[in-house]
Copies of this chain bind each other. A is one copy, B any other.
Amino acid sequence: MDVHETMPEGATAADVAGAHAEDLRVQGQYGVHYRSYWVDETDGKIFCLVEAPDAETAARVHRESHGLVADRIFEVVEGS
């Protein structure tokens, strides 16, 4: 689970959707799967749930696809 603490100035949920589409385009070559994301436009937060070999590879997809890397990445296990 990654956390983007501050959305870029003026960015909207639609912009995030566009960035996510870029992630989906790039991720396959790295064995990464950006599964879901959640946006709080008011507080400027984004959470991305991603399956990846490791945190750095997950970040690499963000970096190469749109350049907006997360502030924090947590290696989580999904509850049942």
Contact = CB atoms under 8 A, between A and B. Distances in A.
Interface of A: 1, 3, 13, 16-17, 20, 36-43, 45, 47, 49, 74-80
Number of copies: 2
Nearest to A47: B1
13 contacts: A1-B40, A1-B47, A13-B77, A16-B79, A20-B79, A36-B78, A38-B77, A39-B77, A40-B74, A43-B74, A45-B76, A47-B47, A47-B76
A39 B76 contact: yes
Closest 6 CB pairs of A and B: A38-B76, A40-B74, A37-B79, A40-B76, A45-B74, A1-B38
A25 to B, nearest CB: 15
Contacts of A43: 74-75
